[in-house]
Amino acid sequence: MKTPILIIISIFAFSIFAKANMDCIWTSSSKGVTLRFLAPCSQKYQMFADSILSQILNRLNRKDTSNKILVLVNTERLSYPNTNFSNFISIGFDTLRQIDESFINDYYFGKEGQIKRRFPNLPEPLDINLTDSDTSKEVGIKIIYRLDYRIGKENWVDIEKLIKYSEENREDIRKTQKRSNVRYDYNGWSVSLLTIDSLTTKNILLKKDSQNKQLVTSTKYLSQLLISSFIGLLLIVILIIIKRKHSR
C-alpha cells in the first residue's frame, strides 16, 4: 500500500513542477490597454496580470479609452543588431497584434528551400505585422518589452513608465517614429518595425516619477508562493498517510 501512494505523490509532484516550468501567454485588458506577457502556466499569473494592469491604470487615471495601447512583455523574440541579446524596447504607432511567427518562419524557410510553400515577393526585412491570417487591423500604440534573460525578471515600474509616456505623447510618437531593422532571434533573420529612437526610451526609464511607487507584485514572489503551496499540500498528504498508518 505504501509504494502505490508514494508513486501517486511522485507523479503529482512531477505534474505540478512540469506545468510550472512551461510558459503561457497571459492577457489582461481594461480601459483600452491590453497587456500580454509570458509567464509560467499557472492560473496565478492571470490574477497577476489583472492586478498589475489595474494598479497601473489606477495611477494613470486614464479617461480617453479610445486611444488603444498594446503592451507585449517578453512575448516577442526580438533584439537590436549588435547588442548581444540585451534588453529590447520599442514604442510605435502600429497595428495592434503580435508577430505571426508561423508566417515569418515559413517565408524565410521557403527562401532557403526548406519548405515548398510559395510567397509573393515581399520587401525585406519583413514587417513584423505581415500575416496571411484574418487578424485585427486595429491601430494604436504598441509597446514591445523584452528583458535580457541573463538579468532576471521584467521590471514593472519601467513598463508603467513606458505606458504612461505612450498615453501622454501619442502624437509625438506618430511624428517621430521611424522604421528600424531588428533581429528576429528565432533564427537570426532581420525584420522591421516602427519605433521611436532608443535614446528616447532610455530617457523614459531614467526619468524619476514621484507618484510611481514600487509595485509589490513580482513573478519571483508568485513562483515562491506556488512552491510553498505545493510543499504545504505535500505535507498534508504525508500527515494523512501517517494518521491512517497509526489508526490501523
115 phi-psi bin (left φ>0, alpha ψ -120 to 50, beta other): beta
Residue 234: band (very low, low, confident or very high) from pLDDT cuts 50, 70, 90: confident
Residue 62: band (very low, low, confident or very high) from pLDDT cuts 50, 70, 90: confident
Q: Give the C-alpha separation, 195 to 21, whole Å.
A: 33
Other CB atoms within a 10 A radius of the CB of residue 181 amount to 12
For 74, the 3-state DSSP assignment is coil
pLDDT reading at 239 higher than 50? yes
pTM score = 0.76
Please say whether the dihedral angle defined by the alpha carbons of residues 88, 147, 145 and 159, taken in this order, is positive or negative. negative
Query: Cis ω on the peptide bond leading into residue 125 (within 30° of 0)?
Result: yes
Kindly list the domain boundaries of the chain, sorted by start residue: 25-214
23 vs 186 pLDDT, higher one: 23
The DSSP code sequence of 79-143 is E-TTSTT--EEEEEEEESS---HHHHHHHHHHHTTSS--------SSEETT--SS-----EEEEE
The pLDDT tens digits of the residues spanning 109-131 come to: 887 777 767 777 888 999 999 98
pLDDT for residue 208: 73
120 vs 60 pLDDT, higher one: 60
Q: Give the C-alpha separation, 14 to 18, whole Å.
A: 6
pLDDT reading at 144 higher than 60? yes
pLDDT for residue 14: 41
**Cα distances (angstroms) measured from residue 156 to each of 35, 55, 174:** 12, 11, 24
The pLDDT tens digits of the residues spanning 161-170 come to: 999 999 999 9
Residue 73: band (very low, low, confident or very high) from pLDDT cuts 50, 70, 90: very high
Q: Give the C-alpha separation, 47 to 67, whole Å.
A: 25
For 149, the 3-state DSSP assignment is coil
Over residues 74-97, the mean pLDDT reads 88
The pLDDT tens digits of the residues spanning 86-110 come to: 789 999 999 999 999 989 988 888 8
